[in-house]
Amino acid sequence: MANRETYIPVFDHSGEPNVSRMPGWIRQSLAGEGYGHTASLVHGNRLTTVCEEAHCPNRGECWGRGTATFMLLGDTCTRACGFCAVKTGRPGTVDGDEPRRIVEAVERLGLEYVVLTSVNRDELPDGGSGIFAATLKGLRERLPALGLEVLTPDFRGCQEQALAALHEAIGEDGTLVWGHNVETVPSLYKTVRKGAKYERSLRLLERAAAELNMEAKSSLMLGLGETFDEVIAVMRDLRGAGVERLALGQYLRPTRYHLPVKEYVSPERFAEYETVAQELGFSWIKAGAMVRSSYHAEE
pLDDT of residue 27: 66
pTM: 0.84
pLDDT of residue 58: 56
Rounded to the nearest 5°, which phi and psi values hold at 254?
Answer: -70, -35
- In whole angstroms, what is the distance from residue 255 CA to residue 85 CA? 8
Assigned CATH topology for domain 28-287: TIM Barrel (3.20.20)
User: Between β-strands 215-222 and 113-118, what pairing exists: parallel, antiparallel or unpaired?
Assistant: unpaired
The secondary structure of the chain, three-state, reads CCCHHHHCCCECCCCCECCCCCCCCCCCCCCCCCHHHHHHHHHHCCCCEHHHHCCCCCHHHHHHCCCCEEEECCCEECCCCCCCCCEECCCCCCCCCHHHHHHHHHHHHCCCEEEEEECCCCCCCCCCHHHHHHHHHHHHHHCCCCEEEEECCCCCCCHHHHHHHHHHHHCCCCCCEEECCCECCHHHHHHHCCCCCHHHHHHHHHHHHHCCCCEEEEEEEECCCCCHHHHHHHHHHHHHCCEEEEEEEECCCCCCCCCCCCCCCCHHHHHHHHHHHHHHCCCEEEECCCCCCCCCCCC
Across the chain, which has 299 residues, the per-10-residue mean pLDDT values are 35 44 68 63 64 56 62 92 91 94 89 90 97 96 93 96 95 89 97 95 97 95 97 98 97 91 96 98 94 72
Closest listed residue to residue 130, CA positions, set 167, 180, 165: 165
